[in-house]
Amino acid sequence: MEMGDYSETIDFNQFFVRKFTPHLYVNLGYYGCGANTLSLLTGAEPWKVPVACKKQPDHWPDKFMVDFLKLRGFKVARVSKCSVTNLNSDCIENPISDNHVVMMSQLFKKKEASWVVVHNRFLYHNFEIQRTDGLDCLNHPVLSAYLVCHKSWRCDLK
């Protein structure tokens, strides 16, 4: 995960989610973690994501993932070590809670990263759902992390 610097600030409250609605499809294993993650968040059919974007299905860089979400009305903020520890008076001790949706790239195997979504102590990977805890970030180190929010997930946004 990127170190960042302490001039970065994130209003974590803007990413607080009241109702997360993941879109779940039967995973046939053909579309890859990037397409499946974007599908889970946006509802786009996973088999159409790489075709519609003229995308190579094997590599899903951060910029592509973030741009795809932003083009569909999602708010996205890159989380760095400094942005999480740069606490201000508005934040409690842990600025990221179970009520945030976090999209992460994690190292699952030697030289193999994978995209996952975490919310409310559940980890979504290729449409499989499992309980998660802090050890998952040690066993599968985080390469990059993003807070993701959509207005349909919040009661206070129009």
Two tokens, residue 3: 């170190």
The verdict on residue 74 lying in a domain is yes
Q: Which CATH number characterizes residue 125's domain?
A: 3.90.70.10
The verdict on residue 5 lying in a domain is no
pLDDT tens figures, 3-15: 888 888 888 889 9
Q: What is the pLDDT of residue 133?
A: 86
Q: What is the pLDDT of residue 27?
A: 64
The verdict on residue 78 lying in a domain is yes
The verdict on residue 146 lying in a domain is yes
The verdict on residue 120 lying in a domain is yes
The verdict on residue 2 lying in a domain is no
Mean predicted lDDT score pLDDT of the chain = 85
Mean pLDDT in residue range 90-95: 66
Instruction: Reply yes or no on whether the pLDDT at 57 is more than 70.
Output: no
Domain span at residue 87 reads 12-153
Instruction: Reply yes or no on whether the pLDDT at 99 is more than 80.
Output: yes
The number of CA neighbours under 13 Å toward the Cβ of 119 is 24
The verdict on residue 4 lying in a domain is no
Q: What is the pLDDT of residue 115?
A: 94
Tell how far CA 2 is from the center of its chain: 15
Structural domain total, the chain? 1
The verdict on residue 3 lying in a domain is no
* Least confident among 27-36, 64-73, 86-95: 86-95
